Amino acid sequence: MAAMTLLSTKGLSRHFGGLKAVENVDFEIREGEIRALIGPNGAGKTTFVSLLSGRIEPTAGKIQFQGRDITADPAHKRVREGIAYTFQITSIYPTLSVFENVALSVQSAMRRVTEAGPTDRLNLHDKTLEALRRVGLSDRVDELAGTMAYGHQRLLEVAMGLALEPKLLILDEPTQGLSDGEIENFCALVREIAHSATVLLIEHNMPVVMQLAHTITVLNHGEILASGSPEDIRGDKAVQAAYLGAG
């Protein structure tokens, strides 16, 4: 049986004055998929995912999540519905400990589940430690988040996203600042996440994209230039001219 569409857009656009940052994008992502979104700098990738997460409003078009129109829903409501977005620039709480940062996300997820009905009784402490274990930060629970290296702050942000127990996890440049060993562990983590959530990955590291993504969508000048398997995208002449051949 084919996987169900989790999220889709129709004619999605965002203009800033005369700049068409995102223009008439029709897009869909299926449940359980690892989808990569790539493109040159200024292609509209972060604007597009900001539209999906509700951080900015569209100029035109519609967004559906699990078959429901969420175009008018604010970001906090989309989080409750299962969309978690880790930002290109870290959005941690620097004066709180690593544990406290993740515990805030766990609390949010537990409130959502409790409102919906019965929940398992893993407590806040255990859920927080589990999220930190998954990203390799369980030995840093007492550190102040703002004192960690940038790469570790990015991993903390991923842990915060995971702790929300999302249906769709959007990762914006997650390997930026990570060492080669950390990138290898991150790739293993994304594959594990895909067993329980759909992943949308915005990433410039092409080896990471090619090994992780089931499907790659290429944005250029705010429009979809191509979409297909890694093999399809690698061999696409238009993509090579616009992006891959440039760097």
Helix axes 98-116 and 150-163, enclosed angle (nearest 10)? 20
Question: Is the pLDDT reported for residue 88 higher than 90?
Answer: no
What angle (nearest 5°) sits at the alpha carbon of residue 117, between those of residues 114 and 123? 40
Percent of the chain with pLDDT over 90: 75
Question: Is the pLDDT reported for residue 244 higher than 70?
Answer: no
Contact 234, 210 (CB under 8 A): yes
Spatial CB neighbours of 171, under 8 Å, sequence gap ≥ 6:
86, 158, 161, 190, 199, 200, 201, 202, 203
**Structure-token match 């329980």, residue found:** 196
Q: Indicate the class that CATH gives domain 78-201.
A: alpha beta
Please write the tens of the pLDDT for every residue from 192-242. 999 999 999 999 999 999 999 999 999 999 999 999 999 999 999 988 887
pTM of the full structure: 0.88
Phi, psi (deg, nearest 5) at residue 221:
55, 40
Contact 25, 9 (CB under 8 A): yes
Phi, psi (deg, nearest 5) at residue 61:
100, 175
> What is the rounded distance in angstroms from the CA atom of residue 247 to the CA atom of residue 243?
7
pLDDT band with cut points at 50, 70 and 90 for residue 23? very high
Please write the tens of the pLDDT for every residue from 139-155. 999 999 999 998 899 89
pLDDT band with cut points at 50, 70 and 90 for residue 86? confident
Tokens of residue 108, six digits: 């949010």
Phi, psi (deg, nearest 5) at residue 128:
-65, -45
> What is the rounded distance in angstroms from the CA atom of residue 175 to the CA atom of residue 225?
24
Q: How many CB atoms lie within 10 A of CB 41?
A: 8
DSSP H or E stretch at residue 99: helix 98-116
pLDDT, position 89: 53
pLDDT band with cut points at 50, 70 and 90 for residue 245? low
Please write the tens of the pLDDT for every residue from 118-128. 445 458 999 99
Question: To 10 degrees, the CA torsion angle through 88, 142, 164, 160?
Answer: 10
Q: How many CB atoms lie within 10 A of CB 236?
A: 19
pLDDT band with cut points at 50, 70 and 90 for residue 116? very low
Domain extents in the chain: 78-201
> What is the rounded distance in angstroms from the CA atom of residue 169 to the CA atom of residue 246?
29
Average pLDDT over residues 88-111: 87
Question: Is the pLDDT reported for residue 77 higher than 60?
Answer: yes
